[in-house]
Amino acid sequence: MTESPRRTEIAAYLVAVERHLSDLPEPVREDLLSDLDSHLAEVVADLAPGTTLVDLLGSPESYARELRETAETEREEAGARMRRRFRETVEPLVSRTRAAADRYAASTGHTDAADLAARLRPGWWVARGVLVAALFVYWLSAAQYGVTGFRVLGSLPGLILLTAAVLFGAWASLRIGAKSLEWGRDRRRWTAAAGLAILAISAYQFAWFLGVPQVEYVETDYSGGATDVGDVYVYDADGQLLSDVYLLDEYGNPIELGDPWTCTDEYGQPMATYDVDYGYQYPLCSVGGRLPLEDPSTAEPTASETPMESEPATTPEPDPTASAEPTADTSASEVPTTPEESATS
């Protein structure tokens, strides 16, 4: 018999056995397989020509089964096996990341990532202290603004407070950081977690400052109650403000947006014109084409001059003749005739 066919026979047998032992704890499996090679070589040495390993030892499956029954002290429980598998998959990733970090640190002229991290540490301590101080001042100003109405941010006392808080925060954080070098692993982990939490909270709180678009919810309401929408202005394609417009949905029901009480006449009644079938005329605060909301100082006298005789057909814009006519036409054509309301109110 020649050496090499026997060697491949052993190797093939070994691989097959190994496959059937994959769930064994690592140390046990390692120990079994590290020596199985030489053991099988001993067996093969005594093998009569013409007989194979399988003839003598049985199938690799049964061999593996027998091995595990005798060599295994106790079966690895499922939880432990899953943890081991997870560790085995994650470990290469972690080590690769670590190697990349080391290379990066080395390229910046430092020994390794740990060295770079040690150099950067005081900077991080200052940063987290400043962030905590900024959060403190921000929250304080927000809390007191609701009560006193005083703007801390942008005022001189606020600036002094902010400076003092930042200096104190950085100082306290540096002290904690210097002390943390002597702490145990658990305590340092908690500190690191707290640092990350500070980062996350700051990112959330100061996102507006960094120009991250905020999601805003504007409540719109058909019932026309108290909403953020006070009035509705409708413009045509030429940019001209349309007056005396009714808003209807696809069922012909009036869409009531805005608050008629936004502007009231001298008797304290809403100035808005209302129609039973078509709802409010928009803009609600349009009195003779003037928009009191845009210029409150001139709105009041205009309102008192012509309390209810708002003539919708005429919209005295800077250019009356040009704009008034189309506006009147549009409102007339859009809204089916309601003479009482639209023409002679």
Partner 1 sequence: MDRSQLLKGLLDIIVLRVLDNEDGYGYEILHRLRKAGFDDLGDASVYGTLRRLYRAGYLSTYVQPSESGPHRKYYSLTEPGRKYLREMRDAWEDVSTKMRHLFDVPKKG
| Residue 42 in contact with partner 1, rule: CB under 8 A | yes
| Residue 73 in contact with partner 1, rule: CB under 8 A | yes
Closest distance to partner 1 from the beta carbon of 38 (Å):
6
The SS3 call for residue 223 is coil
- By beta-carbon proximity to partner 1, the closer residue of 55 and 294 is 55
- By beta-carbon proximity to partner 1, the closer residue of 43 and 199 is 43
Buried b (16+ CB within 10 A) or exposed e, 237-247: eeebbbbbbbb
- By beta-carbon proximity to partner 1, the closer residue of 70 and 321 is 70
- By beta-carbon proximity to partner 1, the closer residue of 28 and 198 is 28
| Residue 45 in contact with partner 1, rule: CB under 8 A | yes
| Residue 15 in contact with partner 1, rule: CB under 8 A | no
Which single residue is written with the structure tokens 């295994």?
Answer: 72
| Residue 48 in contact with partner 1, rule: CB under 8 A | no
Contacts of residue 221, Cβ cutoff 8 Å, sequence gap at least 6: 227, 229, 257
Q: Where does this chain touch partner 1 (CB under 8 A) — which range of 70-78, 84-92, 110-118, 299-307?
A: 70-78
Count of beta carbons in the 10 Å neighbourhood of residue 68: 17
| Residue 39 in contact with partner 1, rule: CB under 8 A | yes
- 289: tokens are 């084409």
Closest distance to partner 1 from the beta carbon of 198 (Å):
49
| Residue 11 in contact with partner 1, rule: CB under 8 A | no
- By beta-carbon proximity to partner 1, the closer residue of 72 and 334 is 72
CA distances from 106 to 102, 103, 118, 275, 332 (A): 6, 5, 14, 78, 78
- By beta-carbon proximity to partner 1, the closer residue of 39 and 98 is 39
| Residue 71 in contact with partner 1, rule: CB under 8 A | yes
How many whole angstroms separate alpha carbon 87 and alpha carbon 144? 51
Which single residue is written with the structure tokens 């019932």?
Answer: 223
| Residue 43 in contact with partner 1, rule: CB under 8 A | yes
User: Which residues in 84-113 contact partner 1 (CB under 8 A)?
Assistant: none
| Residue 24 in contact with partner 1, rule: CB under 8 A | no
Closest distance to partner 1 from the beta carbon of 31 (Å):
6
Q: Where are the alpha helices (DSSP H) in 53-151?
A: 53-57, 60-71, 78-107, 113-148
Rg (CA), the chain: 41
Q: Where does this chain touch partner 1 (CB under 8 A) — which range of 41-49, 92-100, 189-197, 208-216?
A: 41-49
Buried b (16+ CB within 10 A) or exposed e, 78-115: eeeeeeeeeeeeeeeeeeeeeeeebeebeeeebeebee
| Residue 38 in contact with partner 1, rule: CB under 8 A | yes
Count of residues engaged in binding partner 1, rule: CB under 8 A: 27
Closest distance to partner 1 from the beta carbon of 25 (Å):
11
Select from 138, 185, 146, 190 the least CA-distant residue to 166.
Answer: 138
Closest distance to partner 1 from the beta carbon of 5 (Å):
15
Cβ–Cβ < 8 Å for 63, 10? no
The SS3 call for residue 241 is strand
- The residue ranges that bind partner 1 (CB under 8 A) are 28, 31-32, 35-36, 38-39, 41-43, 45-46, 56-58, 62-73
